[in-house]
Amino acid sequence: MKINILAIESSCDETSASVISDGKILNNIVATQSVHEKYGGVVPELASRAHQQHLVPVIQEAIKTSGLDKKELSAVAFTRGPGLMGSLLVGVSFAKAFAYSLGIPMIEVNHMEAHILAHFIDHPAPLFPFICLTVSGGHTQLVLVKSHLEMEVIGETLDDAVGEAFDKTAKLMGLPYPGGPMIDKFALNGDPKAYSFPLSDMPDLNYSFSGIKTAVLYFLRDRLKENATFIDDNKNDICASVQYTLIKMLMQKLKKAAKIHRINEIAIAGGVSANLGLRAELEKLSSELGWKVYIPSFEYCTDNAAMIAMAAHFKFLNQEFCGLDISPLAKMKIGK
């Protein structure tokens, strides 16, 4: 009998559903919330309301395009955390009702672990053990992945995430939301060494990105005093220089982690892993250091239910189910 799982992702501002059958992703339906664009960032209350509007149609589409009947489902998986509490609550509540109505088990999934396990959707997949750099708007972590279900955080940001540094820079420059992809776009035609920004050097394998956010703020403020059109005149170079600095900070710790743990299987995951500059630098280091680098397709970098489904598949095989008394966790750590 096949293992068919419906997976739901609602941790932030993407409403997504996916069906997986015996480890093969059948679809990945995503509804993006455009309501946040005029605010320059995600508004939690609006996000949860949008999830309520999108969730049923998205799930209906996922089941329909899978070719399966809902009675053929073996389990329902959902993102328990980390994420926005209101958004998580919408997904968890629906999963409970849906699973109860069908009399099938539920599987809770850690959002960040799912980002890592997205590497097993397509082939080739990384070999264990490998190091995964998880980078997003809310997280920056170095994770030692020992198996599908055993992971250890060996380094992380002590303040802000790298994705937040990208988005904050974009907002300071007056670029539209979401800002990270806009920085990447303009950086393609800029000089990465046009301007210099400080590199933070935190102990061990940890990161800090609050300093560069402040440095960019003061840099733009001082230049605009001298020239009101400075940002418009130098947009490409500013974006390229900030991106160069952020990527260099990420790579310094990643290289250190690979050396300490003597691992050359390297992966990246999370929304920022869609960044072209980061991907190019990883490919470069792959040649220089002999790394085997694994980068998910763009579809599986940003928040999506296919990665939740893949994580749930491995948990199903291990019979890791949860009860109806489960509740969302805004803060949920890898390996916990």
Asked if residue 313 belongs to a known ligand binding site, the reply is: no
- Residue carrying the six token digits 């501002």: 13
Asked if residue 136 belongs to a known ligand binding site, the reply is: yes
DSSP assignment string, 12-53? SSEEEEEEEETTEE---EEEE-GGGGGGTS--HHHHHHHHHH
Among 143, 185, 183, 153, smallest CA distance to 165 is for 183
CA dihedral 290, 291, 297, 298 (to 10 degrees): -100
Distance (Å) of CA 76 to CA 9, 34, 106, 193: 11, 27, 5, 49
Asked if residue 145 belongs to a known ligand binding site, the reply is: no
Asked if residue 111 belongs to a known ligand binding site, the reply is: yes
Which residues pair with residue 225 across a beta bridge? Answer: none
Asked if residue 335 belongs to a known ligand binding site, the reply is: no
Burial 246-273 (b: 16+ CB within 10 A, else e): bbebbbebbeebbeeeebbbbbbbbbbb
Which residues pair with residue 267 across a beta bridge? Answer: 132, 294
Asked if residue 245 belongs to a known ligand binding site, the reply is: no
d(CA 109, CA 262): 29
Asked if residue 222 belongs to a known ligand binding site, the reply is: no
Could you give the angle at which helices 235-261 and 210-226 cross, rounded to 10 degrees? Answer: 160
CA atoms within 13 A on the CB side of 213: 15
Asked if residue 13 belongs to a known ligand binding site, the reply is: no
Contacts of 248 (CB under 8 A, 6+ apart): 199
- Residue carrying the six token digits 């380094």: 155
Asked if residue 167 belongs to a known ligand binding site, the reply is: yes
Q: What stretches of the chain adopt beta strand conformation (E)?
A: 4-9, 14-21, 24-25, 29-32, 75-81, 106-110, 130-135, 140-147, 150-156, 265-269, 292-294
Asked if residue 275 belongs to a known ligand binding site, the reply is: yes
Q: Environment class of residue 155 by beta-carbon count within 10 Å: exposed (0-12), middle (13-18) or buried (19+)?
A: buried
Asked if residue 138 belongs to a known ligand binding site, the reply is: yes
Asked if residue 148 belongs to a known ligand binding site, the reply is: no
Which residues make up each annotated binding site for substrate? 134-138, 167, 180, 184, 275
Which residues make up each annotated binding site for Fe cation? 111, 115, 303
Which residues make up each annotated binding site? 111, 115, 134-138, 167, 180, 184, 275, 303
